[in-house]
C-alpha cells in the first residue's frame, strides 16, 4: 500500500475534505494572527549570537527561517492572492542582518501582508490565483497552505532551539510530560 496516498489512512479516503474551507476573511485573519503570534513568541528564545546559526552548512539559519517566513508571506502569498506573480527571491541577510533587524523585518513584512489580506472580501476567497508553479488554486486554499507553511517552519525553530538545548515554551500551556503528569493525579 502506498503510504503517501489516502488509502493508507482509511479514515480520510472517503472524507469530504471541505471541512477546513475558509469562508469568512475576518475569521481567517483573527485565526492567522494567533498562528503568527505563536511563531513570533519563539524569537525571544533565540540567543542573539545564534541568529545566523545552522546545524549544517547550506541549511537555513534561524535568521533565514524568519526572513523566509516574512518574505514568502509578503512576496508570494500576498502577491498571489491579488492575482499577481510571486516576487519572492530569497531570504538572505541582504534583507535584514542582526537579531533586532531580522525581528523588525518579520514584523514589517507581516503588517504589509495583513494590509493586503484585510482588503480581500469573502467573494475573493472563492476566486482563483496562480501559484509560482503556474497551477491555479482557489484563494482560500492558498491561504490555508500559507498557514501550513508557517507551522512547518515554526516546527523547525523548535527543533533548532532543542538542538541548542534551549527550553522552549509549550504550545498550549502544558508540555507532553506535564499532560501525562496531570493524568496520574
Residue 9: per-residue pLDDT: 52
Closest residue by Cα to residue 143 from 89, 73, 92: 73
The answer to whether residues 138 and 128 touch, using CB atoms and an 8 Å cutoff, is yes
Residue 11: per-residue pLDDT: 52
The answer to whether residues 64 and 91 touch, using CB atoms and an 8 Å cutoff, is yes
Distance of CA 155 to the CA centre of its chain: 9
Q: Determine which helix (DSSP H) or strand (DSSP E) holds 82, and give its type and residue range.
A: none
Residue 76: per-residue pLDDT: 98
Cell numbers placing 16:
469530504
pLDDT tens digits, the chain, 185 residues: what are they? Answer: 455 554 445 555 445 555 568 899 999 999 999 999 999 999 999 999 999 999 999 999 999 999 999 999 999 999 999 999 999 999 999 999 999 999 999 999 999 999 999 999 999 999 999 999 999 999 999 999 999 999 999 999 999 999 999 999 887 778 888 888 888 77
Question: For residues 47 and 63, what is the distance between their CA atoms, to the nearest angstrom?
Answer: 11
Handedness of CA 107, 112, 117, 118 (dihedral sign): positive
| CA–CA–CA angle 167, 43, 65 (5° rounding) | 110
- Domain coordinates of the chain in residue numbers? 21-165
Residue 59: per-residue pLDDT: 97
Residue 105: per-residue pLDDT: 98
Residue 8: per-residue pLDDT: 47
* CA distances for 36 relative to 32, 124, 175, 185, angstroms: 6, 22, 20, 34
Question: For residues 88 and 57, what is the distance between their CA atoms, to the nearest angstrom?
Answer: 22
Cell numbers placing 89:
527571491
Strands annotated E in the chain: 128-130, 136-138
Q: Name the CATH code of domain 21-165 (choices 1.10.1040.10, 1.10.30.50, 3.30.365.10, 1.20.120.450).
A: 1.20.120.450
137 phi and psi angles, rounded to 5 deg: -145, 145
* CA distances for 92 relative to 70, 77, 126, 129, 132, angstroms: 11, 19, 34, 27, 20
Amino acid at each position: 500500500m502506498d503510504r503517501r496516498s489516502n488509502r493508507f489512512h482509511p479514515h480520510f479516503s472517503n472524507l469530504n475534505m471541505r471541512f477546513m474551507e475558509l469562508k469568512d476573511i475576518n475569521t481567517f485573519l483573527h485565526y492567522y494572527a494567533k498562528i503568527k503570534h505563536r511563531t513570533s513568541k519563539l524569537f525571544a528564545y533565540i540567543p542573539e549570537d545564534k541568529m545566523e546559526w545552522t546545524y549544517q552548512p547550506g541549511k537555513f539559519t534561524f535568521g533565514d527561517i524568519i526572513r523566509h517566513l516574512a518574505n514568502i508571506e509578503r512576496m508570494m502569498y500576498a502577491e498571489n492572492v491579488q492575482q499577481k506573480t510571486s516576487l519572492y527571491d530569497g531570504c538572505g541577510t541582504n534583507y535584514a542582518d542582526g537579531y533586532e533587524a531580522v525581528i523588525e523585518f518579520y514584523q514589517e513584512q507581516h503588517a504589509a501582508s495583513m494590509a493586503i489580506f484585510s482588503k480581500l472580501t469573502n467573494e475573493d476567497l472563492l476566486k482563483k490565483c496562480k501559484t509560482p508553479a503556474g497551477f491555479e488554486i482557489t484563494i482560500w486554499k492558498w491561504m490555508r497552505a500559507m498557514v501550513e507553511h508557517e507551522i512547518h517552519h515554526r516546527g523547525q525553530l523548535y527543533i533548532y532551539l532543542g538542538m541548542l538545548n534551549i527550553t522552549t515554551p509549550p504550545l498550549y500551556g502544558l508540555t507532553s510530560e506535564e499532560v501525562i503528569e496531570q493524568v496520574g493525579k
